[in-house]
């Protein structure tokens, strides 16, 4: 099962907002994928995956930095159970 959080990147500016999502979705035990989009594209311009790990604060900071580096319009965080 997967949980998807897709919102404009303005909502992802602070790592604390990402951290709240990661905690709520128990992402220390789930793989993550972040997909970045420009407003005029249907396909992501970039994508990165994170393996499950317990330091969600560090993961949230890494994701916030990753999103900021691309200056994308929208981002999607997908939390998926490992198969």
Query: What CA–CA distance (Å, rounded) separates 65 from 63?
Result: 5
Distance between CA 46 and CA 78 in Å, rounded? 14
Tokens of 5: 């959080």
Chain segment 2-24, per-residue pLDDT in tens: 777 776 666 666 788 888 888 88
What's residue 57's pLDDT?
93
Domain boundaries, the chain: 2-80
pLDDT in tens, 20-59: 888 888 777 888 999 998 876 788 999 999 998 899 999 9
* CATH classification code of 2-80: 3.30.1490.100
Q: At what angle do helices 15-24 and 56-70 cross, to 10 degrees?
A: 130
pLDDT of residue 83: 47
Question: For residue 20, how far is the Cα from the chain centroid?
Answer: 12
pTM for the whole structure: 0.83
């Amino acid at each position: 099962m997967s949980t998807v959080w897709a919102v404009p990147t303005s909502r992802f500016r602070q790592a604390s907002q990402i951290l709240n999502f990661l905690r709520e979705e128990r992402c220390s035990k789930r793989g993550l994928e972040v997909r970045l989009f420009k407003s005029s594209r249907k396909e992501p311009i970039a994508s990165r995956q994170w393996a499950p790990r317990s330091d969600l604060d560090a993961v949230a900071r890494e994701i916030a930095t990753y999103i900021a580096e691309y200056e994308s319009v929208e981002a999607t965080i997908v939390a998926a159970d490992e198969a």
